[in-house]
Amino acid sequence: MLIEIHGAGFGNKGAQLMLGTVVDRLRARFPNAEVCIAVGSDRPYREVAKIGAKYIWPSRLLDGRRGKYGPLFKVANVLSSCVSEARLASYGLVKRSQVDAMLDISGFAFSDMWGPTPMRNFCTLANSYSKRNCPVVMLPQMLGPFVKPENAILFKKMVSHCSLVYTRDQQSFEIAKECLEESTKLRKAPDITLFQPDAHPGGGPAGSDDDSSTRKVLLVPNMRVLDMGTAWDEAKYLEMFKGAGRQAINAGYQVQILIHETFGKDAMLARNIARDLSLPESCIFGHSDPKVLKQEIAKGAFLLGSRFHSLASALSTGTPSIAIGWAHKYGELLKDFGVAEFDIPSVDDSERIPSLVSQLLQDTQRKQIVSRLQQSKISLAKTNAEMWHEIFNLLEACA
């Protein structure tokens, strides 16, 4: 069985974590299955080779001027017919016509916010599979809003080419359901990385109060908060991290600034925060492997951040978190874990941060939050297991 994982990437550590989770799950269930991904600027060969994936040849041949598949998708199919499968296999390449199923892990790509192009491209790709009766599954992700009629119509068309569509939060589920005349394909399940097989929690905040790893506060900035046209002002946004850092330092905690991407923009914010807190640059931590980042997060007392999957890693390993977000996925994630009060969805809510930080600096209160997180994860695990069971049954039918 050959499965395309669509929407994968290595630049954003959350996207890489999703990719690793899917690969781990597939290989645990189907040891002989192979995975492939399309060539992309954030999918370097050395990283693709590490997970044992293959490249699809030729690439999507996107029109760089319009960002659309258009007729170039057909050209790619013609080119692939000119080279034998055996010849491509010697270079670690496969044709899309060889692929048996597609799993989409875009995370958040289909919304008015991103416009119609990603949805048009998805329709072209998914249609090429559905015409061959190959399963197409959208794994849990944020969807919408689709206020613009064109985008609502495109989303409905997307779903028509899919076998199953999973949203990862209730708000996305309701948005998607409103666009569809019938919703038999629509499901809701938590983010797949919450139950990544190889991500075991570290010491975490529930450990000994004398354990240095539990006396560390993690700050995770995200440039996307500032470049998505939100009301956040850069100075005010950074001051929230700096203020929390000062509170933590004054209470005797260490502060670590964590980078959850490799494009370099978050690192600029991190250096700004470190400089104003008089912290050495060594307090800024990043790693190419998102599993290592997740382990580091698991050791923290608590996290204040804006990278969605840094928050998912924290909550799923029992590390309390305060979320500063720019889309509904943040609040929905905290709601799923029973800690909605720690969501900071807008500038107007930023005044609550000092009191929330003070609460999490108290060992007794923090451990109460840890207990809530652990109980919530247990209830979410059942839905996650049901999701994979349904997906595996679908894939078995096409094997």
Looking at the structure, tell me whether residues 326 and 384 fall in a common domain: no
| Residue 114 located in a structural domain | yes
Calculate the CA 272 to chain-centre distance: 25
Calculate the CA 310 to chain-centre distance: 9
**Owning domain of residue 343:** 212-379
At residue 69 the predicted structure's pLDDT band, cuts being 50, 70 and 90, is low
Strand partners, 322: 304
Looking at the structure, tell me whether residues 165 and 228 fall in a common domain: no
Q: Which helix (H) or strand (E) holds 45?
A: helix 45-50
Q: What is the mean pLDDT of residues 239-254?
A: 97
Strand partners, 284: 257
Pick from 227, 283, 280: which is nearest to 255 by CA?
283
Domain count of the chain?
A: 2
Looking at the structure, tell me whether residues 61 and 176 fall in a common domain: yes
| Residue 204 located in a structural domain | no
Q: If DSSP states are collapsed to H, E and C, what string results for 106-157?
A: CCCCECCCCCCHHHHHHHHHHHHHHCCCCCEEEEEECECCCCCHHHHHHHHH
Tokens representing 119?
A: 């949805």
Strand boundaries in the chain, DSSP class E: 2-6, 34-38, 54-56, 93-94, 101-104, 136-141, 164-167, 186-188, 216-220, 254-258, 284-285, 302-305, 321-324, 343-344
| Residue 202 located in a structural domain | no
Longest CA–CA span in the chain (Å) reads: 67
- The amino acid occupying position 122 is F
pLDDT value of residue 107: 94
Report the half-sphere exposure of 191 (CA within 13 A, side-chain side): 28
pLDDT value of residue 229: 56
Alpha-carbon distance 315 to 379, whole Å? 13
Looking at the structure, tell me whether residues 226 and 375 fall in a common domain: yes
Looking at the structure, tell me whether residues 22 and 105 fall in a common domain: yes
Alpha-carbon distance 13 to 399, whole Å? 31
CATH of the domain at 375: 3.40.50.2000
Looking at the structure, tell me whether residues 224 and 368 fall in a common domain: yes
pLDDT digits (tens, 9 = 90+) for 268-300: 999 999 999 999 999 999 999 999 999 999 999
At residue 78 the predicted structure's pLDDT band, cuts being 50, 70 and 90, is confident
Looking at the structure, tell me whether residues 83 and 175 fall in a common domain: yes
pLDDT digits (tens, 9 = 90+) for 18-64: 999 999 999 999 999 999 998 877 888 888 989 999 999 876 555 44
* Cα Rg of the chain (Å, integer): 21
| Residue 201 located in a structural domain | no
* Whether pTM exceeds 0.85: yes
For the beta sheet containing 284-285, the strands, ordered from the edge strand earlier in sequence to the opposite edge, are: 284-285, 254-258, 216-220, 302-305, 321-324, 343-344
pLDDT value of residue 73: 66
Looking at the structure, tell me whether residues 384 and 374 fall in a common domain: no
